Amino acid sequence: METRKIQTVGGGTYTVSVPKEWARKQNLETGEAVRLYTHRDGSLIVRGEQSEATPLASVTLSVDDHSIGAVEQLVHGAYVTGFERITIVAQDPLPPEHRQAVRTVSRQLVGTNVLETEPTALVVRAMLDSSAVSVRQSIDQAVSIVTSMLQTTVDGLSEGTPITEHVQHRRPEVTRLAALIRRHHNRSLRSFEQLDALGIDRVPLARYTRMAGRLEDVATTIVRLAEIVEEVSLSDEHSQIVADQIDTIGSSLQAASECILDQTKRIDPASQRLPSADRHLDHGGPDDGASDPARARVRDALGRLRADVRSVERLGDQPAIAHQ
């Protein structure tokens, strides 16, 4: 790091010199223009013409000999990277199943539509402007969905109602919001104007992006846990034990999420006391139809869920520690 003194010239204009080595690397000469970016966090960025980031206006992707899954991954990846216009092309006319794959994945992404251009091409347009996106609200929605999934699992275990179908239906909503947050985080890394349009500083944006990924992990684990508890035969007593533990895990997730969104708040140590062992699941009564391997599968799934929520808790501790 170097320091420079602010000077005044002419009618009181403030000036500051730039390092000569930096100017040489940017191929700058006396009299050339540079770009100045001021930001809400108080920083001032100076960029030469050669250091402008690669634009994200459009990308063309060839899908010859690609599977349907690969086509969907390409579109999803280009969207998350931040491209505004994604053109899918092939040498021969695109098969109907490939066209349907593009439409399907586009419906799962926020703010996109598909344009029919020609037999060998489809265009996906991302229409949502950064100024219309609230990253914090998107995180709020994702937390609400995951919490609802946990509650559905608790209710299903306590009341014997279906679980898997309901939580499977909600998991794509979390993925959709996470993709939106990653997209705008990536765009903000390429363009300072995008960061300003989001109305958020870089540090919390990076934290929200990490949290979005961890919420995706929690949602995926909830679905797996739901599948397992419906596959095995647990007694009413063991079902209630599992429900109580999931309820405790859900409370911990809520507390951690609040700390991430409120950067001055720190997680109450009492809320972090997640049950770490399922000793009550180790022994079944005479009326328990669940075998030891079946209960072991439930224990493993609960352990995975705890680990996922603890990763959110660790993220939740960071803002408060930084403010001390």
b/e for 281-313, b at 16 or more Cβ within 10 A?
beebeeebebeeebbebbbebbebbbebbbbbb
pLDDT-derived band at 323 (thresholds 50, 70, 90) equals very low
Task: Compute, in degrees rounded to 10, the torsion defined by CA atoms 41, 44, 46, 51.
Answer: 0
CA dist 117 to 91, 126, 134, 225, Å?
Answer: 14, 16, 32, 44
Handedness of CA 188, 186, 53, 2 (dihedral sign): positive
Mean pLDDT of the chain: 86
pLDDT, tens digit (0-9, with 9 covering 90-100), for 138-173: 999 999 999 999 999 999 999 989 999 999 999 999
pLDDT, tens digit (0-9, with 9 covering 90-100), for 215-233: 999 999 999 999 999 998 8
pTM above 0.75, yes or no: yes
The region that residue 111 occupies, defined by phi over 0 for left and psi between -120 and 50 for alpha, beta otherwise, is: left
CA dist 203 to 40, 41, 77, Å?
Answer: 12, 10, 23
Going along the chain from its start, the domains and CATH numbers come out as 7-51 (2.10.260), 58-126 (3.30.1370), 131-322 (1.20.58.220)
